[in-house]
Amino acid sequence: MQDLPTLITERLVLRPFALSDAADVQRLAGDRAVADTTLNIPHPYPDGAAEQWISSHVACFQRREIMTLAITLRASGELAGCISLRLNDTHNRAELGYWMGVPYWNQGYCSEAARAVIAYGFEQMALNRIFAHHLTRNPASGRVMQKAGMAYEGMLRQHAKKLERYEDLAIYGILRSEYQNQ
Ligand SMILES: CC(C)(COP(=O)(O)OP(=O)(O)OC[C@H]1O[C@@H](n2cnc3c(N)ncnc32)[C@H](O)[C@@H]1OP(=O)(O)O)[C@@H](O)C(=O)NCCC(=O)NCCS
């Protein structure tokens, strides 16, 4: 059975989460600014939730549901964020998702991580398509998708409901054939 990979880029190490990351996950993902533009992060972030989430990663990957990796800084080893591919074997595609801790925003880290995970998805997992959504009021996430080589595919109106408010989502994607031609 395949293990979660470790991917190394110029400035980052993307590696499996360890239980020892739980306090940092709670601190970083627990920031209101991170929860505000994601659909699955609770706020306030409950005690014990990070441990439970991290403990699920190996089994979820081995069931080919989701590959979740910690984004860490190569220079210091500190945890900066999270990136994932939610797999769909039927359609041979995956959905890219990510968050970065606020102190690490706007330094190009998430784009660097996204490029590495997309390369892994096409080159090692033989995917045909990788797509991602972002709230239209979160243009920074759209920039990450653009910088990772994804193309804008459209807008899903009021597709999500967050805190009693309907949110429009932009959708981006990249196909295997486009990745090969980059
Ligand atoms: C979205 C997020 C992951 C981006 O991470 P990051 O490491 O800061 O991303 P990068 O530095 O690689 O790229 C961010 C880009 O957005 C741009 N940007 C930032 N704020 C922006 C804004 N308000 N409007 C337009 N562009 C913006 C930055 O300038 C940068 O683009 P550039 O390199 O062309 O200048 C981070 O802001 C985050 O975790 N937000 C909260 C959680 C979240 O929204 N996750 C995504 C859910 S879809």
Give the pLDDT confidence of 15-42 residue by residue, as tens digits: 999 999 999 999 999 999 999 999 999 9
58, part of any domain: yes
Ligand 1, atom 30, lies closest to the CA of 106
Q: Ligand 1 atom closest to Cα of 112?
A: 12
Q: What is the CATH number of the domain that holds 93?
A: 3.40.630.30
Question: With 90 as the cut, is the pLDDT of residue 48 above it?
Answer: yes
Q: Ligand 1 atom closest to Cα of 33?
A: 41
Could you tell me if the CB of 105 is within 6 A of ligand 1?
yes
166, part of any domain: no
CA of 143 relative to ligand 1 center, distance in Å: 6
Phi–psi pair at 178, nearest 5 degrees = -70, -40
Could you tell me if the CB of 143 is within 6 A of ligand 1?
yes
pLDDT tens, 109-168? Answer: 999 999 999 999 999 999 999 999 999 999 999 999 999 999 999 999 999 999 999 999
**Residue 180 confidence (pLDDT):** 86
Could you tell me if the CB of 154 is within 6 A of ligand 1?
no
CA dist list (Å): 100 to 41, 65, 103, 134: 12, 22, 8, 14
The total domain count for the chain is 1
Ligand 1, atom 44, lies closest to the CA of 37
| pLDDT grade for 178, boundaries at 50, 70 and 90 | very high
181, part of any domain: no
pLDDT tens, 61-111? Answer: 999 999 999 999 999 999 999 999 999 999 999 999 999 999 999 999 999
Q: How many CB atoms are located within 10 Å of the residue 160 CB?
A: 13
Question: With 90 as the cut, is the pLDDT of residue 2 above it?
Answer: no
68, part of any domain: yes
CA of 99 relative to ligand 1 center, distance in Å: 9
From 72, 109, 112, 143, mutation site for ligand 1 pocket: most ligand atoms within 8 A of C-beta: 143
Ligand 1, atom 2, lies closest to the CA of 141
**Counting runs of H as helices and runs of E as strands, what totals does the chain give?**
7, 8
| Residue-number span of the structural domain to which 122 is assigned | 7-130
Contacts of 107-111 with CB under 8 Å at 24 or more apart are: 108/147, 109/11, 109/12, 109/71, 109/73, 109/80, 109/81, 110/71, 110/81, 110/83, 110/144, 111/143, 111/144, 111/147, 111/148
Question: With 70 as the cut, is the pLDDT of residue 1 above it?
Answer: no
**In the chain, what is the straight-line distance between the N-terminal and C-terminal CA atoms, in Å?**
31
